[in-house]
Amino acid sequence: MSNFHHVVLLSWTEDATEAQIAKVIEGLAKLPGLIPQVLHFQLGRDAKINEGNYDLAILAEFADVEAYKIYRDHPDHQTVIKNLIGPIRAARASVQYTV
């Protein structure tokens, strides 16, 4: 059986504070405990080795597309996006794929 993966890359605004970034990471890290459809969840800040990279990467794994959609639309996930990520997001890229 193949799993469904969701990858997100985020860049912060120039005025984003370390406290705001820490709250984003804390909020995202809580999601797997709140949304049982998440099979695997990993996030990490950019190592700052190459210029032009995004600031944060998120990898989430689900059993299938339907499980991903539950996560995508889940109120706790949407709250993190709206209240924590939105105010400091400069750019976002994402991809979903099956392995």
At 1, the pLDDT band (50, 70, 90 cuts) reads low
Topology (CATH) of 4-98: Alpha-Beta Plaits (3.30.70)
DSSP string for 2-49:
PPEEEEEEEEE-TT--HHHHHHHHHHHHHHHHH-TT-SEEEEEE--S-
Dist. CA 60–CA 37, nearest whole Å: 10
Question: Is 78's pLDDT higher than 90?
Answer: yes
At 94, the pLDDT band (50, 70, 90 cuts) reads very high
User: Would you list the domain boundaries of the chain?
Assistant: 4-98
77-82: long-range contacts (C-beta < 8 A, 24 or more apart)?
77/31, 77/35, 79/27, 80/24, 80/27, 80/28, 80/31
Question: For the whole model, what pTM was predicted?
Answer: 0.94
Q: For residue range 44-75, list pLDDT tens digits in order.
A: 999 999 999 999 999 999 999 999 999 999 99
Q: Tell me, what's the pLDDT at 90?
A: 98
- Rounded mean pLDDT of 21-28? 98
CB half-sphere exposure, 35, CA atoms < 13 A: 28
Element (H, E) at 95: strand 89-98
At 99, the pLDDT band (50, 70, 90 cuts) reads confident
